[in-house]
Amino acid sequence: MSAPMTITIRPAVVEDATWIAPLLREGARQGHFLDIVSVQADKLLESLLKFGGLTMMKLRRGREEVCTVHGYVWVANVDNEPAAFLICMDDQEGYELHLAGTRSAYLQRGCFKALVGHAIANAPSDGRVFARCYPRSTVAADALRRYGFVRSSSGDPMELDLKRTAPTPPAPEPVPLSWWQRFLERNKRKD
């Protein structure tokens, strides 16, 4: 009998972009993300991994507005090998479980479940925690529902919000924030 596998969660480092970017492009090709994710994968990861966030245009109160979005990239290692990632975004809308992917050799091993548990445990204790899923992402939507997410809007993508009355799953193990994540937390805009 083989030894049990160990899943650990850690913050992503710049070198992780080499395997995360192809997963983002493949996810866009398969319809799990918008096509633009494929085009912007490298720049998105560079901004998140080097600067801890990005500046983007968002529709706010009926008009386009430049917004700064803080981002966290978590990696699930299986027996010390990077297996999956989850990108979380934090802004005025709330804390979003934004993009995720798993290397094919590690599918169905609990990586996404571990990452979602870790993200929920590290989400702000107040405010909205949510995810958006496209119709193609049935596995992710089902996994999120098992963690207490409920459908809050239909459409393409549908939105799922964490129902706060659900028990918060324990994180696999605490992961300290990097220096830039601590800096961003201390200097987060309050608007």
Tens of pLDDT, residue by residue over 10-35, are: 999 999 999 999 999 998 888 888 88
Residue pair 66/50 in contact by the 8 Å Cβ criterion:
no
pTM over 0.85: no
Tens of pLDDT, residue by residue over 70-92, are: 999 999 999 999 999 999 999 88
- Other C-beta atoms lying within 10 Å of the C-beta of residue 173: 11
